[in-house]
Amino acid sequence: MRVPFNDLARQYDSLKNEIDRTLSSTLQQFNFVRGTPVAAFEKAFARAVGTSSCIATGNGTDSLFLILKALGIKAGDEVITPSFSWISSAEVISLSGARPVFSDVDDLYFTLDPEKIESKITAATKAIVAVHLYGQAAAMDDIKAICKKHNLFLVEDCAQAHLTRLGKYPTGTFGDAAAFSFYPTKNLGAYGDAGCVVTNDDALAVKIRRLANHGALQKDDHEMEGINSRMDSLQAAVLATKLPHLERWNHLRRKNAQIYSTELKDILRLKLPSIRQGSEHSFHLYVIRTPARNDLQRFLAGRDIQTLIHYPCALPNLSAYRYLKKTPRDFPVATALQDEVLSLPVHPELTGEQIQYVCENIREFFGK
Ligand SMILES: *Cc1c(COP(=O)(O)O)cnc(C)c1O
């Protein structure tokens, strides 16, 4: 049996008629950028998350960058961000001219450890970029309180957390603004690059809309300089077609996660994901932890089971951040994670047979 990490072909087959129809009708409008499908998707996504505004962009990284620019983050500023994430959440800080200040994640949820944040705050600190890693909500209540106390902006990276919930509210509603990615393999994925910003701050929304379109809301109305980061109509049409299925797909991801967590719970050398109390994880990734990670990955590959590592190098340990002059000892949790994490296939298209096959092989590896 072959178990691929993602199965976009199977997902497409299940929606083929709807997708083909919307792509064909969008093509025939010949309005490829900022067309009516984009405005329609913005409205639908804002409603799904529960914010007053959604601004469609070119991708998730641009979305984060646009938020920082719109908040006025600039050279001389510092922005606190987790030691363990995809590089986007850190590189946009440097790109804005500011300095990324890494703060270590906690050992259980792999998101910013609120206990470690305050020691990183200086007179130059302007914002925190929190990441809801793997679909797990970060500790937003504590992080929000820290931002309030020190008068910092709060930006959420929701690229892995489409309709994750914390308490009653979806991630993306806790900070000043939030960035989403619709990269094809995210929980809601386009057929190419796409992203968006959501916010309840109407003035910030207008500024981001301008910045994403050369500083203009309408043609030639350049009130400021900006960048070109817009969503294609074709991507918006695909996303609008897929959005009504997102809750069901997240439910299937949670169900798959639950099966793994039940089937693998007796293996002592394996740490399974914890779910933050009062939250609903969206399981963009199901990540297990074991010192035997590399051997397990090789063993599973030999059984045709594809696994991935998110991420093999903690951000402060990357060559890109050597200039910050940090050592792996400064981020003990992230540095341990980089050598121990392994992502198992958890996508909604997995069959029961496939999950059982993965579990059987993991048990066999550990002699269980
Ligand atoms: C995917 C991802 C991004 C970036 O999204 P792109 O659309 O690929 O630019 C940012 N942050 C995290 C945590 C991600 O997983």
Closest residue CA from atom 2 of ligand 1? 159
Collect all residues with Cβ–Cβ distance below 8 Å to 175 and sequence separation of at least 6.
130, 140, 144, 147, 153, 154, 155, 156
Whether residue 136 has its Cβ less than 6 Å from ligand 1? no
Closest residue CA from atom 5 of ligand 1? 60
Q: Which residues pair with 197 in a beta bridge?
A: 55, 179
Q: Which atom of ligand 1 is least distant from the CA of 193?
A: 7
Q: Give the pLDDT confidence of 124-151 residue by residue, as tens digits.
A: 999 999 999 999 999 999 999 999 999 9
Q: Which residues pair with 216 in a beta bridge?
A: 222
Whether residue 159 has its Cβ less than 6 Å from ligand 1? yes
How remote is the CA of residue 61 from the centroid of ligand 1, in Å?
Answer: 6
DSSP state of 222: B
Mean local confidence (pLDDT), 150-158: 98
Whether residue 181 has its Cβ less than 6 Å from ligand 1? yes
Q: Which of 183, 191, 181 has its CA nearest to residue 237?
A: 191
Respond yes or no on whether the N-terminal peptide bond of residue 311 is cis (omega within 30° of 0). yes
Q: Give the pLDDT confidence of 228-246 residue by residue, as tens digits.
A: 999 999 999 999 999 999 9
Give the alpha-carbon dihedral of 188, 158, 48, 277, to 10 degrees. 110
Bridge-based pairing state of the strands 153-157 and 125-131: parallel
pTM score of the predicted model: 0.98
Mean local confidence (pLDDT), 310-315: 98
Could you give the CA distance from residue 211 to residue 192 in angstroms, rounded to a whole number? 22
Strands across the sheet containing 177-181? 53-57, 195-199, 177-181, 153-157, 125-131, 78-82, 99-103
Q: Give the pLDDT confidence of 297-309 residue by residue, as tens digits.
A: 999 999 999 999 9
Q: Give the pLDDT confidence of 68-86 residue by residue, as tens digits.
A: 999 999 999 999 999 999 9
Residue 368: is its pLDDT beyond 90?
Answer: no
Residue 274: is its pLDDT beyond 90?
Answer: yes
Give the whole-number percent of the chain exceeding pLDDT 90. 99
Whether residue 192 has its Cβ less than 6 Å from ligand 1? no
* Mean model confidence pLDDT for the chain: 97
How remote is the CA of residue 183 from the centroid of ligand 1, in Å?
Answer: 7
Tokens of 66: 């646009």
Closest residue CA from atom 1 of ligand 1? 159
Confidence of residue 35 (pLDDT cuts 50, 70, 90): confident
Q: Which atom of ligand 1 is least distant from the CA of 160?
A: 15
Whether residue 59 has its Cβ less than 6 Å from ligand 1? yes
Mean local confidence (pLDDT), 171-198: 98
Burial 300-334 (b: 16+ CB within 10 A, else e): beebebbbbbbbebbbbbeeebeeeebeeeebebb
pLDDT at residue 34, as a whole number: 79
Could you give the CA distance from residue 282 to residue 158 in angstroms, rounded to a whole number? 11
